[in-house]
Structure 1
Amino acid sequence: MPETFFGWVVYLLQQYGSVLLKGAVVTLLLAVVGTFIGCIIGLIVGVIQTIPLEDNDSKVKRTLVRCLQRLLDAYVEVFRGTPMIVQAMVVYYGAMSLFDIDMSPLFAGFLVVSINTGAYMAETVRGGIESVDPGQKEAAIAIGMDHIQTMRCVILPQALRNVMPQLGNNLIINIKDTSVLNVISVTELYFASKSAAGVYYKYFEIFFITCVIYFIMTFTASRLLRWLESKMDGPKDYQLVTYDPMMDPCGDIPLPTKKPKGRY
Structure 2
Amino acid sequence: MIDAIMNSPYVKSLPFLWEGLQVTVAITLIGLFLGMILGALAGLGKLSKIKVIRGFWTVYIEIIRGTPIMAQALFIYFGLSELQLNSFTTGVIAIALNAGAYIGEIVRGAVYSIDSGQTEAGRSLGLTERQTMRYIVWPQAFKRMIPPLGNQFVISLKDTSVFSVIAVSDLIYQARQYYNATFEQFETLVMVCLFYLIITIPAALYLRRIERKMDV
- Secondary structure at the aligned position of 1:229 is classed as helix
Confirm or deny: 8 A CA contact 1:132 1:155 kept in the other structure: yes
With CA pairs under 8 Å and 6+ residues apart, which has the higher RCO, 1 or 2? 2
The CA deviation at 1:111 is: 0.5
Which whole-Å CA distance do the structure 1 matches of 2:10 and 2:31 have between them?
A: 29
Change (3 A) 1:127 1:140: same
- Kindly provide the amino acid, as one letter, of the partner of residue 94 in structure 2: V
Answering whether residue 20 of structure 2 is matched by residue 23 of structure 1, we say: yes
- Kindly provide the amino acid, as one letter, of the partner of residue 130 in structure 1: Y
Counterpart position of 1:49: 46
Tell me the TM-score normalized by structure 2: 0.93
Which whole-Å CA distance do the structure 2 matches of 1:11 and 1:199 have between them?
A: 16
Answering whether residue 76 of structure 2 is matched by residue 94 of structure 1, we say: no
> Share of identical aligned residues, percent?
33
1:170-181 matches, within 5 Å, as 170-181=152-163
Which whole-Å CA distance do the structure 1 matches of 2:22 and 2:16 have between them?
A: 10
Change (3 A) 1:32 1:228: farther
The CA deviation at 1:231 is: 3.5
- Kindly provide the amino acid, as one letter, of the partner of residue 47 in structure 1: L
Confirm or deny: 8 A CA contact 1:27 1:178 kept in the other structure: yes
1:199-237 CA-partner distances (Å, limit 9, x unpaired): 122211210111111111111211222223334349xxx
Which whole-Å CA distance do the structure 2 matches of 1:88 and 1:204 have between them?
A: 28
Counterpart position of 2:183: 201
Q: 1:147 pairs with 100, 113, 129, which one?
A: 129
Which whole-Å CA distance do the structure 2 matches of 1:11 and 1:77 have between them?
A: 47
Q: 2:70 pairs with 63, 85, 89, which one?
A: 85
Change (3 A) 1:132 1:212: same
Counterpart position of 1:243: none
1:37-74 CA-partner distances (Å, limit 9, x unpaired): 111111111112213x4xxxxxxxxxxx2112111101
The CA deviation at 1:9 is: 9.7
Which whole-Å CA distance do the structure 2 matches of 1:187 and 1:12 have between them?
A: 20
Q: 2:54 pairs with 66, 69, 75, which one?
A: 69
| Structure ID, larger Rg | 1
Structure 2: 5+ residue stretches without partners: none
Counterpart position of 1:137: 119
Confirm or deny: 8 A CA contact 1:91 1:108 kept in the other structure: yes
Which whole-Å CA distance do the structure 2 matches of 1:87 and 1:8 have between them?
A: 42
Backbone CA RMSD of aligned residues: 1.8
Answering whether residue 209 of structure 2 is matched by residue 227 of structure 1, we say: yes
Which whole-Å CA distance do the structure 2 matches of 1:87 and 1:9 have between them?
A: 41
Which whole-Å CA distance do the structure 1 matches of 2:39 and 2:92 have between them?
A: 15
Q: How many equivalent residue pairs?
A: 213
Tell me the TM-score normalized by structure 1: 0.77
- Secondary structure at the aligned position of 1:82 is classed as coil
Q: Which has the higher helix share?
A: 2
Which whole-Å CA distance do the structure 2 matches of 1:9 and 1:87 have between them?
A: 41
Which whole-Å CA distance do the structure 2 matches of 1:161 and 1:19 have between them?
A: 39
Which whole-Å CA distance do the structure 2 matches of 1:45 and 1:170 have between them?
A: 16
Which whole-Å CA distance do the structure 2 matches of 1:82 and 1:208 have between them?
A: 30
Which whole-Å CA distance do the structure 1 matches of 2:188 and 2:86 have between them?
A: 27
The CA deviation at 1:28 is: 1.3
